[in-house]
Each structure stands twice: as C-alpha cells, then as structure tokens.
C-alpha cells in the first residue's frame, strides 16, 4: 500500500453519493474518541489529513481517501457517543449499515478499540453483526503506549476473549510511536489481494 500519494476524495452523506468505480475499499470503524483519526493519520503518515474531532458526536459523513491510486480508505463516523440525539444516531446507523451491507467494493472493516478499556456493548454488537454478515473485519487495539507491557498483554487477552478472536487475528497499535503500523499495512494488503 503506497501511502506516499494520498488525497481526500469526498464526504458522503447518502448511498447515491458513493464514488463510482471498482476500487477496493477498507473501512475504519470505532467508538468516538477511540483514536481512529490518529490511527489513520499515523497509517498515512500525515499530520492532519483526518481531522481529530473537536466535537465528538456531531453529524458526520463517510469520508473517502484515495491511497496510491490503489484503494479507498473509508473513515466511518464514530459511534457510541451518548449525547447525540437518538433520531440522528438512527439515521447514521441506517447509512452505515446500508453501506456495509451492500457495498461490493468493501474488502474489510478495521474495528478500532481502546486497549485500556473493557469491550463496550456497541463494539460487541458491531463485531457480531459484521461476523453474521460475513464481512471480513480486523480488530486493532490502539493506544498501547498508555499501558505497561504486562497490562498490554492482560488487556489484549480480555478483549480477545470478549470478541472471540485469537491473537493472530488482531493487532496492537500506537499512533504515538507508530508501533503496529507496518504490520497493519501488511495485513491490509492481504485483504486487497483476496
């Protein structure tokens, strides 16, 4: 995956607005504030391409980035922010669900989870739903630099058990140190080839 050439494509608010063509897409999902923007900026080696959100939970779109003329990275709106109006939340969910269910371009959903915390119900629900839909998904536990090595291992095991994944099927990540970056890029390559 060639991150030397990256550009913002579009903010999408409806299925009709989705980019045409058959470029493969990798979507990134996670609760608000989990570190998704930081992870994407780290992955793409950009400082502020993906805006680190000042106001979590405000109306958001599916944001498409073109990487190396080779694939689209799709930044999905963060979920699980309590202060968001219920109707608005339902509307986002409708768009995201429709996108995930119907998009032939989609190769994988990267599910970003904060390594420090127990699995949240919203994460469990999304993971279970992706699994049931047969959509490939990859858990990435981020903010690993905030924990000691022992704590990292302990937390990762708890999250593995809660998600029902084995250690080889997830990654630990730090946007601060870049740990896990190369591994994630390599893993994403395999989804592009399949």
Binding of ligand GDP by 162 (CB under 6 A): no
- Report the alpha-carbon distance of residue 53 to residue 50 in Å, rounded: 9
**Residue matched to tokens 């994407």:** 40
Smallest separation (angstroms) from ligand GDP to the CB of 179: 9
Smallest separation (angstroms) from ligand GDP to the CB of 130: 18
Binding of ligand GDP by 57 (CB under 6 A): no
Smallest separation (angstroms) from ligand GDP to the CB of 13: 19
Q: End-to-end alpha-carbon separation of the chain, Å?
A: 14
Smallest separation (angstroms) from ligand GDP to the CB of 77: 10
In this structure, are residues 117 and 76 in contact, taking their beta carbons and an 8 Å threshold? no
Residue of 171, 175, 180, 191 interacting with ligand GDP (CB under 6 A)? 175
Give the per-residue contact string, 105-144, with ligand GDP (x = CB under 6 A; - = no): -------------------------------------xx-
Stretch of 5-13, 29-37, 99-107, 157-165 contacting ligand GDP, by CB under 6 A: 29-37
Residue of 19, 33, 81, 120 interacting with ligand GDP (CB under 6 A)? 33
Binding of ligand GDP by 152 (CB under 6 A): no
Residue (72 or 143) nearer to ligand GDP, CB: 143
Residue 73 has a CB neighbour count (10 Å cut-off) of 24
Per-residue b or e along 36-61, where b marks 16 or more CB atoms closer than 10 Å to that residue's CB: bbbbbbbbbeeeebbeebeeebeebb
Residue 10 phi, psi (nearest 5): -170, 155
Binding of ligand GDP by 78 (CB under 6 A): yes
CA distances from 190 to 32, 54, 57, 93, 108 (A): 27, 34, 32, 28, 10
Size of the site for ligand GDP (CB under 6 A): 19
Residues with Cβ < 8 Å from 11, sequence gap 6 or more? 61, 62, 63, 64
Binding of ligand GDP by 183 (CB under 6 A): no
- Report the alpha-carbon distance of residue 36 to residue 29 in Å, rounded: 7
User: Contact residues for ligand GDP (CB under 6 A)?
Assistant: 30, 32-38, 52-53, 56, 78, 142-143, 145-146, 174-176
């Amino acid at each position: 995956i060639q991150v030397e050439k990256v550009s913002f494509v579009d903010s999408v608010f409806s299925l009709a607005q989705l980019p045409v063509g058959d470029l493969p897409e990798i979507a990134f999902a996670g609760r608000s504030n989990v570190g998704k923007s930081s992870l994407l900026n780290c992955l793409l080696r950009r400082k502020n391409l993906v805006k680190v959100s000042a106001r979590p939970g405000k109306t958001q779109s599916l944001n498409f980035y073109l990487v190396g003329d080779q694939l689209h990275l799709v930044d999905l709106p963060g979920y699980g922010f309590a202060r968001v109006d219920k109707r608005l939340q339902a509307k986002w969910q409708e768009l995201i669900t429709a996108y995930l269910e119907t998009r032939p371009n989609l190769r994988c959903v990267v599910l970003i989870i904060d390594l420090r915390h127990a699995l949240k119900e919203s994460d469990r629900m999304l993971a279970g739903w992706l699994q049931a839909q047969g959509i490939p998904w990859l858990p990435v536990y981020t903010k690993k630099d905030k924990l000691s090595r022992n704590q990292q291992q302990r937390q990762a095991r708890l999250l593995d058990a809660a998600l029902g994944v084995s250690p080889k099927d997830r990654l630990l990540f730090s946007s601060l140190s870049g740990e896990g970056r190369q591994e994630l890029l390599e893993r994403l390559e395999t989804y592009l080839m399949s």
